[in-house]
Chains A and B, each alone.
Chain A
Amino acid sequence: MSEMPKVTEVTENLLEVRDVRKSFRVPHAGKNKLQALDGITLDLARGQTLGLVGESGCGKSTLARTLMMLERPDEGTVRFDGVDPFSLRGADLLKFRSRVQMVFQDPYASLNSRMTAADIIAEPWRSHKELIKNRQDRDMRVRGLLDLVGLGVKAANKFPQEFSGGQRQRIGIARALALNPDVIICDEPVSALDLSVQAQVLNLLNDLQQQLKISYVFISHDLSVVRHVADRVAVMYLGKIIENGPTEAVFERPNHPYTAALMSAAPTLDGEQRKQRILLKGEVPSPINPPSGCRFRTRCWKATDVCATTSPTASVDPEIADHSALCHHPMLLEGSGLESVSV
């Protein structure tokens, strides 16, 4: 669709998502459906990290579930290495599933407390039997994975509750690595961890990417984490990607007012240096009954009549071609418009 931010061709896209839509029926909403994904287009190159940013209810997790094939899109296509995974059946489908794995947010809820670390890590091989030869091979591979995530072989026979939160997340990462995936979808992988441990896990994910050339889809609400890990960032608002581009471009020169507001709302360590912040009024509208035209117009200080009637098309950064935003009044072309707002 023409209204989506255009993404320049990156060589060897592992994952291509084109105009994906997904809605859910919800109780007490009459004929209205909850539009969780409203025309999502994005690419992920091999060995790269795509950061997905947005507030609760923006569709980040539905997008992650769609990439995991846990949700079938109503419209649009997903291409993984050129193949539509939703067309696969049987052995081909099983094979595909091994290529996309997930690391979950809560390392307490996502590990079975009745299984040892070794059993948890080896469990994916029960569905993918061809990947291991025999019991010895299994044990050796588990030891290798434990070593790879920095836990050491002694961890193999312990149960999850014997580990700290950071160590549990390492087990979750080892389990995701067991099937040698091409892509790992990390859904808020460090937000349940303490700061000092968070850095250890981020470093581990980075090392693994260097070693194994994995791609990550990294979902997080923490902008400083995303800035640190991502090559490209997609900012979501009410089911749409409203800005998309190389990480530094999006952070240094936000084009969409929402991106600018989001960046300015996040507290920073050197906050004293900043003189003003954009304080948005209100909260994210319901995705069951989203605003007409531009989804963000109800909270936007630049909104005009056209924003209520027409969905905005992509506006490209004049200097960086693969950085664009869905906005009628993009900040890079028209300025921030903040001067005219009463303080």
Chain B
Amino acid sequence: MSTASAVAETKSRSRPALRSGRLTVALAAFLSAILVAGAVEIVLDAAVGHTPEVPHQPAFDSWLAGFGQSLGYDVFLPTLLVCAVAYAGLVLIARRRASPIWARWAIGLVALLQLIVFAGPVLLASDLFTNVAYAHEALHGVNPYVHGPSALPGYSGYRFVSPDWINWASPYGPLFTLVSLPAGIGGLYAGIWFLKVEALVASAATLALTWRCARQRGFDPVLAMVIVGLNPLYVLYALGGSHNDLIMTALMMGGVTLVIASETSARREAAGAAAVVAGALVKATLGVMLPFLIVSRRRLSTIVGAIIALAVGLGIGYVLFGAAGINLIADLGRQGHLVSSYSFASQLAHLFGKAGVYPIDHQLLTGGLVVVLLYLLWRVWRGYDWVTASGWGLLGIAVSTTWLMPWYTVWPLPLAVISRDRRLLFATLAIEAIWIIHQTSPLYGPVP
């Protein structure tokens, strides 16, 4: 072949490739713009005031009011759906080898979305106000593990706590109450902003550690960042509601980072196990990870690290909040008996013609979950990846709980993106997709 014909062939090959590359860049930019526009739309509309999508809250972000229209389901659900499609598109683009979503773009987009949601009102749940109330209780001599916010006399934020929770003692671990205590020091606005900043920092830590773990395990960290950080349920629900699940996931990823480090030492593994225990002392759900870690490593250091962290955490919890503050199993049990219309259990009940979930259904679901966890434990014993098993465990809890909240489906996501078993990632994203489609049911007919 002559040189001229070789050059011509190269040109003919590279032109379509170049055009396709430019198209991909344009598409990625378009999808990114959709995500940003969606977040801005939701935040500005939510700032207008209370709707079923926006909990009743004080006007701590009044500078945003006046730009949007009241956020109803007729705006929120289509926006959520469009954002989910844009997210799926960006994930697919990021999976391509010659992806235009390079690190700076991904980090910039993720940071922008997080800041937009952070600046806005509390979205989709009033848990933040309940948590501010628990902090006030703890600082004013009322044990939040014995009494609900209604026991706090003269508390100005009382009216923003959901009526469902005013008599409920805190279901969270003592470490969360401890790190949230500053929310009770100042006024209500200071408390709200403190918990919002806490959630933002936890989210940033989760994403940074996910990035690091992905690189450590030989995965593309940009793809991992895109999958977790742009996820609509992660951004709008978990961060939008400033949920403490983000603190749990940050500690979870901290534990994973320490344990999977290339130069693992006994001290690092002990610290990793301690981080997982700390996460479980924020939200007991993460306790499911510990058996997988211990069975996988089979080193004394992990057991010692976990025991020391548990002893210290429970000791501090006992001193501050008494026996009620360290009864994590009872806290889990209390919430486990609630039923949300979001849960797959409720949907299964409707499929079988039942009006709702009954105690026998609870027992069947718990039994099924135990079987799955035991099977995973056996797999880990035989060499299966403990990180993946932990992800399956968290996904199993989210699917089987009768008290499913949208942000619970985010728990396994940081583990799924660093798992060598890609089935976990597909399963987690599929569950989220099913959940989002289910949420859009009011769009398909009249609403009373």
Do chains A and B interact in one complex? no
